[in-house]
């Protein structure tokens, strides 16, 4: 225990004045021993905090890092990486394979298995619809709100949304809508719907997208796409199909190609 | 298969890139990772990403001949996943607030850095286990930013000042233990 440790503690606890901070930082900079001591304490403050993580500087040099990078770039490393991907694919497809096997088996003792098969197919649909939703949701598609008229609350909402702080984002969007009740902004409605999806408020999301649909703006047709995704998410495959069929009628429609492709997979 | 044998099989699969065995790890651990990430501000995509990165990270580390897991494979791997997600969140936050500049680095280097950070984290955790229970408790409170007054109440210290002094001593002891461990030196930046 010495004075330096006391000083480090005061500094890391944030108990120094601005002036003291400056003097301390200068001292650390000039004294390698003090620097070492300071570093380990700083590491302790981060590594023992359950909500934190110590990110190393991207230029960090250490023998291990070099070894790891070399391995990852090697043939073996690459092949392991590929096999992890394959295992992931296999894991997420396992359910449908299981069904196929059961279908084969059912040929011989069909009567007994009809009921079981029915249950499995229902389950299978459930998984499929949800994974189709996961596969197609891409919120990067959403138009940016920050460019529009410099309305700061909207750009703030978008930032929160991108940071995945959905409930706060939703509050911001909703208060914008209530303050601008006379002119509806279709893009904000889109964000509200998608945010509700992320918060698992699926019914509310449907309402928001339906509102968008009725908004009589250029963006209105986008609602069909987002409605279909919502229905997939809650496993209402037939309803999802209805929305997709509307989209697939006209090549001018938003996500026309994707809608056709999705429809095919759902048939 | 006994539990130990099964755990060895999982680790071996990861070391050799055996697809069937890795799928087995997915079956065992992915549902937990999914729940963890979803309840910590992440999406399903994030959960998949965390799972992949953690598998690769552990595979790389386990290539070293002396690598061992002392707890169960599942528990150990899940901890890695949680740490990978904490890392992602921290990087994301730093990018948004720009408080520190974190460059985009190549995927291989990213995995390597994460593996290196994980090793340092494990060393620090192990050292914390080695000091007295009394010290460990008070420090865990302190590092998780519990106020001195609350610590005094919970652990039955008379005054905040006693808590302060105790923390100071324990911290110094712990630091000593880390510093004298040869692995700390190995993990130092060059």
- Chain B positions touching A49 (Cβ under 8 A) are 143-145
d(CA A146, CA B154): 48
**Could you tell me if residue A63 is inside a domain?**
no
- The verdict on A154 and A257 lying in the same domain is yes
> Shortest Cα distance from A3 to chain B (angstroms)?
12
**Could you tell me if residue A84 is inside a domain?**
yes
- The verdict on A220 and A260 lying in the same domain is yes
pLDDT digits (tens, 9 = 90+) for B18-59: 999 999 999 999 999 999 999 999 999 999 999 999 999 999
- The verdict on A182 and A99 lying in the same domain is no
> Shortest Cα distance from A68 to chain B (angstroms)?
5
- Predicted pLDDT of residue A238: 86
Residue with the bigger pLDDT between A122 and A248: it is: A248
- The verdict on A185 and A108 lying in the same domain is no
**Cα end-to-end span (Å), chain B:** 44
Is A113's pLDDT higher than 60? no
Across the range A158-182, mean pLDDT stands at 83
CB contact under 8 A, A43 and B124: yes
- The verdict on A259 and A161 lying in the same domain is yes
- Predicted pLDDT of residue B152: 95
Lowest-pLDDT range of A193-207, A237-251, B1-15, B52-66: A237-251
pLDDT digits (tens, 9 = 90+) for B71-130: 999 999 999 999 999 999 998 887 766 555 555 668 899 999 999 999 999 999 999 999
Highest mean pLDDT among A116-120, A174-178, A258-262, B112-116: B112-116
Residue of B nearest to A68 (CA): B112
For chain B, list the domains and their CATH numbers: 1-103 (1.10.1740)
Under 8 Å CB-to-CB from A113, ≥6 apart: which residues? A102, A105, A106
Domain total in chain A: 3
- Predicted pLDDT of residue A47: 93
> Shortest Cα distance from A58 to chain B (angstroms)?
7
| Displacement of CA A132 from its chain's centroid (Å) | 15
CB contact under 8 A, A83 and B17: yes
The DSSP annotation for B22-80 comes to HHHHHHHHHHHHHHHHHTTT--HHHHHHHHHHHHHHHHHHHTSTT----S-HHHHHHHH
- Predicted pLDDT of residue B63: 96
ipTM over 0.85: yes
- The verdict on A115 and A30 lying in the same domain is no
Partner-chain residue, chosen from A49, A77, A90, that has the shortest CB–CB distance to B143: A49
Give the count of beta carbons closer than 10 Å to the beta carbon of residue A205.
24
Residue of B nearest to A77 (CA): B60
- The verdict on A51 and A121 lying in the same domain is no
A198 and chain B in contact, CB less than 8 A: yes
A53, HSE (Cβ side, Cα atoms, 13 Å): 25
> Shortest Cα distance from A67 to chain B (angstroms)?
8
CB contact under 8 A, A79 and B44: no
Q: Whole domain around residue A148: which residue ranges?
A: 142-266
pLDDT digits (tens, 9 = 90+) for B134-190: 999 999 999 999 999 999 999 999 999 999 999 999 999 999 999 999 999 989 876
- Predicted pLDDT of residue A1: 46
**Could you tell me if residue A62 is inside a domain?**
no
Categorize the per-residue pLDDT at A176 as very low, low, confident or very high, splitting at 50, 70 and 90: confident
CB contact under 8 A, B56 and A81: yes
Partner-chain residue, chosen from A40, A76, A81, that has the shortest CB–CB distance to B175: A40
The CATH number of the domain holding residue A176 is: 1.25.40.10
Residue of A nearest to B104 (CA): A58
- Predicted pLDDT of residue A116: 60
- Predicted pLDDT of residue B22: 97
- The verdict on A122 and A94 lying in the same domain is yes
- Chain B positions touching A51 (Cβ under 8 A) are 86, 144
pLDDT digits (tens, 9 = 90+) for A61-107: 899 999 999 999 999 999 999 999 999 999 998 755 665 666 566 55
- Predicted pLDDT of residue A246: 86
Which residue do the tokens 């996943």 mark? B81
- The verdict on A47 and A123 lying in the same domain is no
**Could you tell me if residue A27 is inside a domain?**
yes
Is A3's pLDDT higher than 70? yes
CB contact under 8 A, A68 and B188: no
- The verdict on A165 and A253 lying in the same domain is yes
- The verdict on A172 and A223 lying in the same domain is yes
A101 and chain B in contact, CB less than 8 A: no
- The verdict on A210 and A116 lying in the same domain is no
């Amino acid at each position: 225990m010495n004075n330096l440790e006391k000083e480090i503690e005061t500094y890391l606890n944030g108990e120094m004045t601005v002036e003291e901070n400056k003097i301390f930082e200068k001292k650390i900079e000039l004294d390698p021993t003090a620097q070492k001591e300071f570093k380990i304490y700083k590491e302790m403050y981060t590594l023992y905090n359950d909500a934190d993580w110590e990110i190393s500087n991207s230029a960090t040099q250490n023998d291990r890092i070099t070894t790891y990078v070399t391995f990852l770039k090697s043939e073996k490393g690459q092949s392991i990486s590929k096999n992890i991907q394959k295992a992931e694919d296999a894991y997420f497809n396992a359910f449908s394979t299981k069904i196929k096997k059961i279908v084969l088996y059912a040929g011989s003792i069909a009567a007994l298995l009809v009921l079981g098969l029915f249950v499995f197919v229902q389950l299978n649909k459930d998984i499929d619809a949800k994974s189709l939703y996961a596969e197609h949701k891409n919120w990067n598609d959403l138009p940016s709100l920050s460019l529009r008229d410099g309305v700061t609350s909207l750009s703030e909402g978008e930032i929160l949304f991108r940071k995945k702080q959905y409930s706060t984002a939703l509050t911001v969007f909703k208060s914008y809508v209530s303050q601008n009740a006379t002119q509806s902004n279709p893009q904000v409605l889109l964000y509200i719907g998608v945010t509700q999806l992320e918060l698992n408020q699926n019914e509310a999301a449907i309402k928001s997208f339906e509102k968008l649909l009725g908004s009589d703006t250029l963006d209105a047709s986008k609602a069909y796409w987002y409605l279909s995704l919502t229905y997939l998410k809650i496993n209402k495959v037939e309803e999802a199909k209805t929305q997709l069929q509307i989209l697939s009628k006209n090549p001018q429609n938003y996500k026309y190609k994707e809608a056709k492709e999705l429809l095919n997979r759902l048939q | 298969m006994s539990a130990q044998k099964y755990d060895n099989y999982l680790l071996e699969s990861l070391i050799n890139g055996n697809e069937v065995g890795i799928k087995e790890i997915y079956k065992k651990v992915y549902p937990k990772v999914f729940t963890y990430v979803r309840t910590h501000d992440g999406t399903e995509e994030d959960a998949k990403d965390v799972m992949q990165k953690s598998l690769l990270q552990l595979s790389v580390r386990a290539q070293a001949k002396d690598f061992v897991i002392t707890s169960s494979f599942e528990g150990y791997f899940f901890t890695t996943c949680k740490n990978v997600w904490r890392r992602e969140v921290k990087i994301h936050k730093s990018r948004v607030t720009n408080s520190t500049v974190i460059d985009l680095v190549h995927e291989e280097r990213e995995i390597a850095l994460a593996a290196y950070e994980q090793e340092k984290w494990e060393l620090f955790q192990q050292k914390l286990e080695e000091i007295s229970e009394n010290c460990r408790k008070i420090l865990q409170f302190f590092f998780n930013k519990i106020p001195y007054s609350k610590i005094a109440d919970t652990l039955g210290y008379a005054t905040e000042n006693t808590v302060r002094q105790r923390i100071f001593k324990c911290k110094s002891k712990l630091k000593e233990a880390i510093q004298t461990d040869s692995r700390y030196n190995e993990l130092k930046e060059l």
